[in-house]
Amino acid sequence: MEFDKSRVYTAVNADELKIGSKVIVADTLASLKEKVTNDDTSKLICILSSEDTEYRFHVDCSDYALAYLVEGPDEKYLIWEDLDLLDMIQRKGDVDDIAVVTRISNEPDNTNTHICAGGEWLSDEDLKEWEKVDVRSIQ
């Protein structure tokens, strides 16, 4: 794959990259260019919200300074930034598993857990199994 600098994301524009995108990550520009040439892709798990860190891209249990967008996410799924207090969420395919968002933490941590719903903290990965529901649609 040919390197295109317009596809590079840094701490400055990290929030513009969509969770679940197919990316190539590295800590240096030289390493990123080499990985792009070798098509060494991963799936972006989350972007650390703290602007105090240079390593904002979380992939495969590690954080990186640079991300190169290969393609956007395959499907739209719930992310913690989509939720507000008292929103209702439902586990996909399970009409009986409904929870209310009772706490939101935007503090960065190593588990990428920001939402408390139904008495348990849900990680960004957990939220992929949930969808936001309108209270009027629940019977």
**Residue ranges covered by each domain of the chain:** 5-71, 80-133
Outline where DSSP puts E strands in 1-139. Answer: 8-9, 22-26, 42-43, 46-47, 57-59, 62-64, 66-71, 88-91, 98-104, 113-117, 120-123, 130-133
More confident residue, 112 or 109: 112
Work out the pLDDT band at 136, boundaries 50, 70, 90. low
Q: For residue range 73-90, what is the model confidence (pLDDT) as tens digits?
A: 777 778 888 899 999 999
pLDDT band at 39 (very low <50, low <70, confident <90, very high): confident
pTM tops 0.85 = no
